[in-house]
Amino acid sequence: MRKLVALSVALSAFGLSACIRADSDLDRALVGAAIGCAAGEVLVDGRCVEGAIVGAGVGVLTN
């Protein structure tokens, strides 16, 4: 089960890595929110919104 979870999160991150040249804070927030939503949905059973909020925050703060 853990391998499936790790694989799902990794595929989500790699699938969204096409936006690697995120030029603005909004782009980074959207990519972070999408990855966070996928991780929250898979890792914590249906916590997409909380994962998206955390992911967007991390996306904005990272440069």
The pLDDT value recorded for residue 42 is 79
Total Cβ atoms within 10 A of residue 42: 19
**Both tokens of residue 2?**
């853990």
Span 25-59, pLDDT tens digits: 787 888 888 888 888 887 788 788 888 888 888 88
Per the model's pLDDT, the better-predicted residue between 3 and 26 turns out to be 26
Here the tokens at position 28 are: 């980074």
Q: Give the C-alpha separation, 24 to 22, whole Å.
A: 6
Determine phi and psi for 32, rounding to 5 degrees: -65, -40
Say if pTM beats, i.e. exceeds, 0.85.
no
